[in-house]
Amino acid sequence: MDLEALYRDLHSHPELAFAELRTAGIVADHLTGFGLEVVTGIGGTGVVGILRNGDGPTVLLRADMDALPVREETGLEWASTQTVVDETGATVPVMHACGHDIHITCLLGAVEALADSRSEWSGTLVALFQPAEEHGGGAQVMVEDGLYEKVPTPDVVLGQHVTPLPSGMLGAHSGAAMAAVDTMEVTLHGRGGHGSRPETTIDPVVMAAATVLRLQTVVSREIAPQDTAVVTVGSLHAGSANNIIAPKATLGISMRSFSEEVRERVLGAVDRIVRAEAAASGAVEEPTVKFGERYPVTVNEPEATARVTAAFTSEFGEDRIFDPGAISGSEDVGNLATAAGVPLVYWMLGGGDPATVAAAMAAGTVDTDIPSNHSPYFAPLAQPTIDTGVRALVVAAREWLTEH
C-alpha cells in the first residue's frame, strides 16, 4: 500500500465530526483487503477491524478520523479546498488541521504490517477508527453504541497523536498525560433596541465583554501557581448591525485542568462570574449554559507506559525517545480504556521538520515559527513521520501480542 498517496488523499478530502463517510469507506475497504473482519457504523461512522490470530491478549489500536472547520493555508499541492454545510447550516471550510489523516494512515499501515506478519504473533488485534474526537465525544458515543458487545474487549488500548515536534521522535508521559476539558456555550440575555437609545436596552455586548475580561482572572487569581488550568473564550457572537443593540450574546468557553479538585474550582468560578456579570448588567434572565465536550484527564497507566517506552527505546534508539510532560490539550481516547477497565498508553509522534524546529528552538521562536495543531498552517512531514508512526504502533502492539 502506498501510504504517502493515501495520506495525501485523506488530507485533500477532510470530513467533519460524524460526517466521515468517505473516510470510513476507505478505511473499511482497506481493512477488508487485509483480511480483517470489519464492523462499520459504530457510533455513526466508526469502523473497527478485527484480526483473530489464535490464543493470546487482545490489543486495541486507535486512530481518530474527523477534521476541523479551518481554512487551509499550507500551500501544499494536496491542500484541502473542501467546504461543507455544518450542523448549524453554515458553510465552512474543512481541513485536517490536527493531523488525524496521519493517524489514519499510520494505523492502516500498522494493520497491514501486523496482518503480513501474523505467523510471528498470536492474539487478537482490534483496529478502531473513531469519529468525532474534535467535536462530539466519538469515543464515548462508540462505547454507548455497544462497542464492546460488537468487538472483543481489549487488554490494553494504544494510540498516538502527531505533534509539531521533530519528525521521527516519540514520547509518552506516565500518569496524567493530557488535560481534562470542559466546553460550554453561554448565552447572555439582554434587551435589544436601537443603537441610538442604549438607555432603553440591556446591552449583551457590554455584558459579554465584561465577562470575557473577568474570566481571565480565574487562572491568575483563583488557581494556585503550582496547579495548572486554562480558561479560553474561543468565540463571541452578538448582533447583526452596528446600529442595533442585540438581544443576546453567546460565548464559547473551553476549560482545561489536570485534577478533579482544580476542575471543580474552575467550573465553579466560571459559573459564578457568568451569572454575576449578568446580574451586574441588570439582565432580566439568567444566562443559559449548554455543555459540549467534557473529556476526563488522559491517564497513561505507569507500568504499561514504561513497557512501551522501553520497547520504543530498543526499536528506535534512546535519542529519538522523549518525555513530553503533561500536555494541556485534551483527548477522549481514555474513554475507550475506561469502559474496558484496561490500561491506556497514548504517545506523541513528532511530525515537524527537524531543521526548522531546531532553528526555531535556537532562536526562541517556536511559538511564532512552528505551526501548532489546529493552525491553518499545520502540515506534518509525510516522512519519516508515517514510517515512524507505523513502526511505533506495531512495536507497541507486539509488546502484548504473544510471540510464536
**Could you list the active site residues?**
66, 133
DSSP summary character for residue 372: P
Which run of H or of E encompasses 297? none
Contact 179, 297 (CB under 8 A): yes
CA atoms within 13 Å, Cβ hemisphere of 190: 25
Work out the burial of residue 356: count CB atoms within 10 Å of its CB; fewer than 13 is exposed, 13-18 middle, 19 or more buried. middle
Strand, helix or coil for residue 264: helix
Q: Half-sphere exposure (CA, 13 Å, Cβ side) for 362?
A: 6
Cell numbers at 118, concatenated: 501474523
* Triad 49, 138, 380: Cα angle to 5°: 80
Residue 123's CB is within 10 A of a number of other CB atoms, namely 22
Annotated binding residues: 98, 100, 134, 161
What is the distance between the alpha carbons of residues 252 and 213, in angstroms, rounded to a whole number?
14
Tell me the residue ranges of DSSP E strands in 100-216. Answer: 121-130, 156-166, 170-171, 175-178, 180-189, 193-194
- Report how far residue 67's alpha carbon sits from residue 94's, in angstroms, rounded to the nearest whole number: 7
Q: Judge contact between 123 and 56, C-beta under 8 A.
A: yes
Distance CA 161, CA 103 (A): 7
Cβ within 8 Å of residue 209, ≥6 positions away: none
Residue 335: name the closest of 344, 326, 324 by CA: 344
Residue 85 is placed in which grid cell?
Answer: 454545510
Annotation: binding site for Mn(2+)? 98, 100, 134, 161
* Bridge partners (DSSP) listed for residue 253: 184, 233
